[in-house]
Amino acid sequence: MLLELLIPMLLLVLGVYLGLIQVLSRAGVIRGDSIWSLKYFEGLTLHGVVNAIVVTTFFAVAFGNAVMVYYLKNKINMTWVWVSFWVMMIGTLLAAWAIMSGNATVLYTFYAPLKAHPLFYIGVALLVVGSWIAFFNWIPMYLRFRKEHPEKKTPIAVVGTLANFVIWFIATVPVAYEVLVILLPWSLGYVSEINVMLTRVLFWFFGHPLVYFWLLPAYIMYYAFLPKLVGSKIYSDFAARLVFFLFLIFSIPVGLHHQFAEPSINPNLKLLHAVFTFGVALPSLITAFSIAASLEMGAHLRGHKGLMSWVYRQPFFDKNNYLFAYLIVGLLIFIVGGATGILNASYSMNNLVHNTGFLPGHFHLTVAGPVILAIFGMTVYMYSNLTGKEVKLKSLNVAVPYIWALGLTFFSSGLMVGGLLGEPRRTNLGISYTNPDSPLFHSDWQITTAITAIGGTIMFIAALSYFTVLIATMASKSKGSVAFSFPTSEAYHDEKNISLVKNFAPWILVAVVIILIAYVPTIKEALENTAGGALPYLPTNPVPITP
């Protein structure tokens, strides 16, 4: 289990290093020739796949295993834990090999008709299947708990984890189809042409729920742990449960908000997905208010009386309460991340920002904000609690989230302002647009990419500081006694165990119905409005590969 926790950290070292290379290349600080152009995208593919897919999936599984064991007080079947780990691990190694050997420069969205090596597709599929195995391993544990304790409420962290993996399972089925049935045979040369629009619709069926899959472990920590860390309670037990179930129904039927600029799909269908997207903003708004209420209550319980003093009377820099710092900084970043997300989702407003620097500016405020900080904080917490080792370099540890946030502020501001000025994403600007010797030189973008580079460098330093803390902790001696626990909050309003927020089945049923409404006509349009198929291409050659 420790391995499952530490592997993502090892990969992240590579991930943030590549991030640094990207900001420096975009700003033209590192400027290579045209070979460098492709290297940039190999790096970006690895950065996206490792950070956004591999690290987050490994962490969700490791954290889920711990939550299930701790809260259900049930034995877990270790054989399946290891099978799941190795399937994910082999998948990761295959995909990493394909990318690093230059055979899968397709970015983490693997948009056809750019073609990757078959092992890339197989690797991605194995990673997903490994996470399914972990999930299936939890279901009998949950059912046994429900049978043995019919009167008890399911612990909130368990509800959150299961809701998250139900979303993940539903969302990964279509992408598994895309990868295994459409792309793999095409990549192997058994099929010559494929429908590109269909692959894009299937990818984004998965792509948006993916972001909630990253986020929900952080949400679980906000509800189940954060109140406890400030001596407070979950404001309302009912609201917490409702939030996770709302995510279950609204996080999938929204994929077209990534495809507003695409052909072949009726704008009214896109509008429908936009409306559902505002539905998925609801649980986040509820969360913002609930957590604020918990924080306020905590400050009052600790004796701070003023009306607004709860805002700053919190243990922000408490070395022994570092988990609070990681969580609260992430939460504050998420306010901006959420607001910019609402902007992106706002239909015609998306015309301004789609695929510009604004997008990575926005999503680093989510996935490289609350998500990664929760992962960082929880990884040291779990490591030190599972091994009985005390966290070393405590002051540095509690400073990490603040340094990261400082860097992220510059990083995202640069990208977002640049984006509004037209700066493209997924582009090695250093070769052309931020190169004073190029006819395509753009002086505005030179400024915005420079601000981004400063921010990215600070983030890289924060990450190095974090790895130093982790390594120092690993190198220290265990104090012997190991008593693992999560800082579990009680509920202030502990409502009755009403069936609305007790069972998964009705919510899953509603989710499936909404998905069918959102996706049956979409897939139909994608098929009807496309002519002919696409042959595979390599990024280096305008001539397709013919079988």
Partner 1 sequence: MDRAEKFIISFSIVVLVLFVTGIIIVAKGAGIDIAECVPSDKTFTEGRLGQLDEHTYQAYYVAKMWAFEPREIEIPLESELDIFLTSKDVVHGFHINEKAVNLMAVPGTINKYRVKFSKKGTYEIVCHEFCGTGHQNMVGKIIVK
DSSP-assigned beta bridge partners for residue 236: 493
**Contact indicator for 409, 402 with CB cutoff of 8 Å:** no
Report whether the peptide linkage leading into residue 521 is cis, meaning its omega lies within 30 degrees of zero.
Answer: no
From the list 154-162, 207-215, 320-328, 533-541, the region that binds Cu ion by CB under 5 A is 207-215
Helix axes of 156-177 and 196-224: crossing angle, nearest 10 degrees: 170
Distance CA 98, CA 93 (A): 9
- The number of residues that bind partner 1 (CB under 8 A) is 80
Instruction: Single out the residue of 241, 233, 234, 158 nearest to residue 498, CA to CA.
Output: 241
Q: Which does 141 bind (CB under 5 to 8 A by kind): partner 1, Cu ion, ligand HEM, none?
A: none
- Per CB under 5 A, contacts with Cu ion among 369-398 are none
Contact of 244 with 163, CB cutoff 8 Å: yes
Could you give the CA distance from residue 97 to residue 86 in angstroms, rounded to a whole number?
16
3-state secondary structure 338-373: HHHHHHHHCHHHHHHHCCECHHHHHHHCCHHHHHHH
Whether 40 is a known active-site residue: answer: no
Q: Which of 153, 426, 468, 502 binds ligand HEM (CB under 6 A)?
A: 426
- Chain residues 341-400 in contact with ligand HEM, contact rule CB under 6 A: 360, 364, 367-368, 372
Please pick, among 47, 117, 208, 257, the residue that the annotation labels catalytic. Answer: 208
Identify whether 364 is a catalytic site residue.
yes
Verify whether residue 354 is a known catalytic residue.
no
Q: Considering CB distances under 5 to 8 angstroms, the limit depending on partner class, which of partner 1, Cu ion, ligand HEM, none binds residue 285?
A: partner 1
Concerning whether 208 is annotated as a catalytic residue, the answer is yes
Catalytic residue among 145, 206, 212, 326: 212
Task: Considering the complex, state which of residue 26 and residue 233 has its C-beta at the smaller distance from ligand HEM.
Answer: 26
Which of 26, 241, 257, 425 is catalytic? The answer is: 425
* Interface residue with partner 1, options 102, 185, 422, 521 (CB under 8 A): 422
Cα torsion angle, 289, 294, 298, 300, sign: positive
Spatial contact of 65 and 76, defined as CB atoms under 8 Å apart:
yes
208 binds Cu ion (CB under 5 A): yes
Both ends of the chain: CA-CA distance in Å?
45
DSSP, res 477: P
Burial of 292 (0-12, 13-18, 19+ CB in 10 A): middle
- Given the residues 354, 426, 467, 537, the one annotated as active site: 426
Q: What would the x/- binding string for Cu ion be over residues 164 to 203, using CB under 5 A?
A: ----------------------------------------
Give 30 or 282: the residue with its C-beta nearer to partner 1: 282
Q: Which stretch binds ligand HEM (CB under 6 A): 87-95, 236-244, 455-463, 476-484?
A: 455-463
Contacts with partner 1 in 273-292 (CB under 8 A)? 274-275, 278-279, 281-282, 285-286, 289-290
In the region spanning residues 39 to 98, those forming contacts with ligand HEM, defined by CB under 6 A, are 44, 47-48, 51-52, 55
Let me know if 302 is a catalytic residue: no
Residue burial 217-232, b: 16+ Cβ < 10 Å; e: rest:
bbbbbbbbbbbbbbeb
Residues lying near Cu ion in the complex (CB under 5 A) are found at 208
Residues lying near ligand HEM in the complex (CB under 6 A) are found at 16, 19-20, 22-23, 26, 44, 47-48, 51-52, 55, 107-108, 360, 364, 367-368, 372, 425-427, 456, 459-460, 463
Q: Which residues are catalytic?
A: 208, 212, 362-364, 425-426
